Amino acid sequence: MKGNGFATVIHFIIKEFQQLKRDPKMLAIVLAAPVLQTIILGYAATFDVNNVDFYLLDRDKSSVSRKYVEKIINSGYFTIKGNTENYEEIENAIMNGKAVIGLIIPREFEKDIENNNGTKVQIIVDGSDGNKGSIAFGYIQAITAAYAKTILLDKIERNGIRVPLKSVNAETRIWYNPELKTRVFMVPGITALLLMIVTTLLTSLAIVKEKEFGTLEQLIVTPIKPWQMLLGKILPFTTLGLIMILLVNSVMIFWFGIPIKGSLLFFFFASLLFILSTLGIGLFISTVSRTQQQAMMVTVFGAMMPMIYLSGFVFPIENMSRIIQYVTYIIPLKYFITIIRGVILKGIGIADLWQETLILALMGALILFLAAKRFHKRLE
Amino acid sequence: MNYSIVAENLTKKFGDFTAVDSVSFKVEKGEIFGFLGANGAGKSTTIRMLCGLLEPTSGDAVVGGFSIMNEPDKVKQSIGYMSQRFSLYNDLTIEENIEFFGAVYGLKGKLLEKRKKWVLEISNLIGKERTLTGDLPGGIKQRLALGVAVIHKPKILFLDEPTSGVDPISRRNFWDLINRFSDEGTTVLVTTHYLEEAEYCNDIILINAGRLIAEGNPQRLKTEYIDGNAFEIETENPVELMDILKKAKFIIDVSIFGKKIHVITKKQFEKPDELENYCTQNEFKIDRITRIVPTLEDVFIHLLEHGSKNAQQN
């Protein structure tokens, strides 16, 4: 092998694509699955609480109590599932999951308000889904507070005080995601996730496949060098990864209407860096595994699951316990999700995200280096 | 003398297990050199060290002028290797496999075209270029693998059990090819456990339990390694006869070949009469007895039994 350097890499890449061509179904799955999954997950991965089912026990049955219930229903967050006469039914409804909230209005509700005695409503919340429960509870509290306020103002007015009362008002402006839709927050993360899954999984099989079929043995006795093989494996998958980025982000932009606010160039650059680290992880797994099955298991349980949990994709890192927070520092997906959420939603660029970008680049380089080193050893 | 391969004290350990134990041998340029031994004797491990697939635990070998320890990359350009297991891409066509491996060896343009044609010709696959390699039957796959292994016209060719699982006619064709490469000056190192194939080799070594226990050309092995005389006895009841003969003090080895029995006697027992007498004394009827030149099989059975005896003493 004299000065055959990059030509061999090209031939290796040609071979990889020839093999890919033999398996068009696989290629279709690789490209179509992420698109479909982005669409499905885009609708599925939401923490928005919109339709809270509740049961009502109105012991007062007065015009005031009806007005109060109307306010709750008209808020749009609640659906009345049952109007009952006894308390047990409410208990059962919550136990069976028919309702998340039970609302009990006491007797003399109207009278006590009229007579200035003050009154209480009882709200029972199904706390087993803590997130949904607390959001629903928050909604009801806000509605109740607003209702109490109108009652109060009404009374003041009736007592002849004409001057409008002034107190504190929070004027809230929500930036980046004004409707507070989780989808806007989640979809960029989903695209990152899918990119990671496909690139890691495919490369984790890349070398071990040759090992399993015995072709690696034939390659090792040729003058091909480890770096030529690694590049020959990485470049086709990088291309595939870039095509995936285009597809998945097109879905995000055109299907879900979430535009990339920041620089496209930086976005691609960061994606490329991220792919390098996922490819590196995949290759590393591939060099240490003996069979494809082994590689797949290690990839799924050793790499992908922890990456998903610890990346901040689902659970905010700030809420994790301190030790786990330290662990998240070694998760490339964490930095990439920070970057793409920043670029897509906030429109910020490398000036604000240089640290994450740098870490991602270093991680990619390190893991690729380790994979190459490990691979070299295997060649002996 | 001009040697293609010089192995010195090659040793490979896998943990506590010594697969190859201090094996030394020399292979002359252009000869066909056979590695014989049972499965697991260390033949493949030795060949894999020589090809640079495995790193020796100790010892060294010079292959084509380069040390496998210090310059494994330089070794690779001058060797061809065909694995025991089919190791071309099943999901590539015949043509794609040939072109890929040709390119990896640095062949291009007209030379690559020429070699491709040659490989197709020697593997008898002209007209099947577009066939998917995985669809070929076993024997034809082996031929293609051999063709690809020599696409760069290596000076030294390693064949690891190239004919295992191949039908007799394909096996014959295979050996014709091997002879052809040898005539053209290629050194061929081949492992096998078919003894009749060993007869085609210029030189052979016998490996048992990682150790070299005999070496030389087949003729020499037959005459030098057996310190005695060989006889063939025909009988109706070989199993019984074998038991009887085993008890005789003047007999070194007895082995069974169908209805025949091969006997190696101590040197001073040269005549068949003595054997016949012994059988009659034990009231056993034999049909015919002839003195023969020992076959390689006789030699190997003899050596393997002695080898194992030596191993026990150690």
CATH code at position B117: 3.40.50.300
8-state DSSP, B135: G
Confidence at residue B135, expressed as pLDDT on a 0 to 100 scale: 93
Which A positions 189-218 lie with beta carbon below 8 A of chain B?
Answer: 213-215, 217-218
Q: Are strands B3-14 and A122-125 parallel, antiparallel or unpaired?
A: unpaired
Q: How confident is the model at residue B309 (pLDDT cuts 50, 70, 90)?
A: very low
Q: How confident is the model at residue B33 (pLDDT cuts 50, 70, 90)?
A: very high
> CB contact, 8 Å: A14 with chain B?
yes
What is the nearest CA distance from A291 to chain B, expressed in angstroms? Answer: 16
Domain boundary among B166, B197, B216: B216
Confidence at residue B222, expressed as pLDDT on a 0 to 100 scale: 81
- B221: in domain: no
Nearest residue on chain B to A211, alpha-carbon basis: B87
What residue ranges do the domains of chain A occupy? 5-46+181-379, 52-158
Is B52's CB within 8 Å of A380's CB?
yes
Which A positions 221-240 lie with beta carbon below 8 A of chain B?
Answer: 221-225
State the residue for tokens 């082994």.
A294
Residues (pLDDT < 70) of chain A are 1-4, 162-165, 377-380
Confidence at residue A379, expressed as pLDDT on a 0 to 100 scale: 53
Beta carbons within 10 angstroms of residue B32's beta carbon: 24
- B195: in domain: yes
State the residue for tokens 């979430």.
A258
How far apart are alpha carbons A4 and A234 in whole angstroms?
19
Render pLDDT for A288-323 as a digit per residue (tens, 0 to 9).
Answer: 898 999 999 999 999 999 999 899 888 888 889 999
How far apart are alpha carbons B220 and A22 in whole angstroms?
53
Q: What is the edge-to-edge ordering of all strands in the sheet holding B17-28?
A: B17-28, B3-14, B58-63, B66-67
State the residue for tokens 């005896």.
B309
Do both B91 and B47 map to the same domain?
A: yes
Is A19's CB within 8 Å of B132's CB?
no
Amino acid at A10: I
CA geometry: angle at A166 spanning A165 and A171, to 5°?
140
Answer for the pair B132, B144: CB distance below 8 angstroms, yes or no: no
Answer for the pair A270, A362: CB distance below 8 angstroms, yes or no: no
Nearest alpha-carbon partner for A343 in A281, A252, A276, A280:
A252
Do both B112 and B236 map to the same domain?
A: no
Nearest alpha-carbon partner for B154 in B193, B191, B119:
B119
Element (H, E) at A210: helix A182-213
Nearest to A217 among B53, B90, B103 (CB): B53
Is B105's CB within 8 Å of A222's CB?
yes
Percent of chain A with pLDDT over 70: 97
CA distances from B253 to A162, B205, B207 (A): 127, 21, 20
Confidence at residue B131, expressed as pLDDT on a 0 to 100 scale: 94
How far apart are alpha carbons A274 and A197 in whole angstroms?
12
> CB contact, 8 Å: A8 with chain B?
yes
* Chain A residues closer than 8 Å to B103 by CB: 7-8, 11
Nearest residue on chain B to A4, alpha-carbon basis: B106
What is the nearest CA distance from B193 to chain A, expressed in angstroms? Answer: 22
Answer for the pair B23, B47: CB distance below 8 angstroms, yes or no: no
Q: Which tokens hold the place of A283? A: 């290759």
What is the nearest CA distance from B260 to chain A, expressed in angstroms? Answer: 42
Answer for the pair B42, B201: CB distance below 8 angstroms, yes or no: no
Answer for the pair A338, A252: CB distance below 8 angstroms, yes or no: no
Nearest to A224 among B51, B55, B104 (CB): B104
Ramachandran angles phi, psi of B209, nearest 5°: 50, 45
- B299: in domain: no
Do both B238 and B202 map to the same domain?
A: no
Nearest alpha-carbon partner for B42 in B18, B20, B14:
B20
Do both B161 and B255 map to the same domain?
A: no
- B209: in domain: yes
Beta carbons within 10 angstroms of residue B259's beta carbon: 12
Instruction: Report how far Cα B140 is from the mean position of its chain's Cα atoms.
Output: 21
Answer for the pair A285, A303: CB distance below 8 angstroms, yes or no: yes
Is A220's CB within 8 Å of B53's CB?
yes
> CB contact, 8 Å: A35 with chain B?
no
* Chain B residues closer than 8 Å to A232 by CB: none
CA geometry: angle at A191 spanning A186 and A196, to 5°?
120
Confidence at residue B310, expressed as pLDDT on a 0 to 100 scale: 44
Confidence at residue B308, expressed as pLDDT on a 0 to 100 scale: 45
What is the nearest CA distance from B161 to chain A, expressed in angstroms? Answer: 15
Amino acid at B307: G
Interface test with A, best of B47, B70, B104 (most A CBs within 10 A): B104
* Chain A residues closer than 8 Å to B77 by CB: 1, 223
Confidence at residue B311, expressed as pLDDT on a 0 to 100 scale: 42
* Chain A residues closer than 8 Å to B157 by CB: none
- B256: in domain: yes
Nearest residue on chain B to A213, alpha-carbon basis: B87
Do both B48 and B129 map to the same domain?
A: yes
B13 strand-pairing partners: B18
As a whole number of Å, the CA-based R_g of chain B is: 23
Do both B134 and B267 map to the same domain?
A: no
How far apart are alpha carbons A65 and A55 in whole angstroms?
14
What is the nearest CA distance from A309 to chain B, expressed in angstroms? Answer: 37
Q: How many domains does chain B have?
A: 2
Is A18's CB within 8 Å of B132's CB?
no
Q: Report CA torsion sign: B38, B39, B42, B45.
A: positive
Ramachandran angles phi, psi of A173, nearest 5°: -120, 120
Answer for the pair A276, A199: CB distance below 8 angstroms, yes or no: no
Q: Which tokens hold the place of A5? A: 């350097």
Answer for the pair A227, A373: CB distance below 8 angstroms, yes or no: no
Is B76's CB within 8 Å of A15's CB?
no
- B305: in domain: no
Do both B48 and B193 map to the same domain?
A: yes
Amino acid at B278: Y
Do both B31 and B154 map to the same domain?
A: yes
Nearest residue on chain A to B54, alpha-carbon basis: A380
Confidence at residue B148, expressed as pLDDT on a 0 to 100 scale: 94
Confidence at residue B1, expressed as pLDDT on a 0 to 100 scale: 59
How far apart are alpha carbons A282 and A234 in whole angstroms?
10
A82 strand-pairing partners: A55
- B300: in domain: no
Q: Please report the beta strands in B54-110, taking only residues with DSSP state E, as ranges in sequence order.
A: 58-63, 66-67, 79-82
How far apart are alpha carbons B116 and A97 in whole angstroms?
72
Beta carbons within 10 angstroms of residue A144's beta carbon: 16
Confidence at residue A254, expressed as pLDDT on a 0 to 100 scale: 94
Render pLDDT for B148-193 as a digit per residue (tens, 0 to 9).
Answer: 999 999 999 999 988 877 888 888 888 999 999 999 999 999 998 8
Nearest alpha-carbon partner for A58 in A111, A26, A91, A103:
A103
Nearest to B100 among A4, A11, A380 (CB): A11
Q: Does domain A52-158 have CATH number 3.40.50.970?
A: no
Interface test with B, best of A14, A19, A210, A218 (most B CBs within 10 A): A218
* Chain B residues closer than 8 Å to A1 by CB: 73, 76-77, 106
> CB contact, 8 Å: A5 with chain B?
no
Confidence at residue B65, expressed as pLDDT on a 0 to 100 scale: 92
Residue B69 pLDDT > 70:
yes
Domain boundary among B169, B187, B216: B216
What is the nearest CA distance from B172 to chain A, expressed in angstroms? Answer: 24
Confidence at residue A165, expressed as pLDDT on a 0 to 100 scale: 66
Is B85's CB within 8 Å of A15's CB?
no
Answer for the pair B101, A218: CB distance below 8 angstroms, yes or no: yes
How far apart are alpha carbons A344 and B251 in whole angstroms?
90
Domain boundary among B186, B216, B246: B216
Do both B31 and B168 map to the same domain?
A: yes
B264 strand-pairing partners: B230, B253
Ramachandran angles phi, psi of B312, nearest 5°: -70, -40
> CB contact, 8 Å: A21 with chain B?
no
Do both B180 and B265 map to the same domain?
A: no
8-state DSSP, A164: P
Answer for the pair A286, A203: CB distance below 8 angstroms, yes or no: yes
- B308: in domain: no
Is A214's CB within 8 Å of B87's CB?
yes
Is A1's CB within 8 Å of B77's CB?
yes
Answer for the pair B73, A220: CB distance below 8 angstroms, yes or no: no
Domain with B235 in it: 227-293
Nearest to B91 among A22, A220, A224 (CB): A22
How far apart are alpha carbons A328 and B4 in whole angstroms?
56
Nearest alpha-carbon partner for A307 in A319, A297, A299, A296:
A299
Residue B60 pLDDT > 80:
yes
What is the nearest CA distance from B216 to chain A, expressed in angstroms? Answer: 28
Is A219's CB within 8 Å of B104's CB?
yes
State the residue for tokens 């998760």.
A331
Do both B212 and B232 map to the same domain?
A: no
Is A218's CB within 8 Å of B81's CB?
yes
Confidence at residue A49, expressed as pLDDT on a 0 to 100 scale: 80
Do both B209 and B271 map to the same domain?
A: no
Render pLDDT for B295-308 as a digit per residue (tens, 0 to 9).
Answer: 888 888 888 777 54
A-B Cβ pairs (cutoff 8 Å, strict):
76
Interface test with B, best of A26, A222, A379 (most B CBs within 10 A): A222
Q: What is the edge-to-edge ordering of all strands in the sheet holding B288-292?
A: B251-257, B260-266, B228-234, B288-292
Q: Which tokens hold the place of B232? A: 């063939």
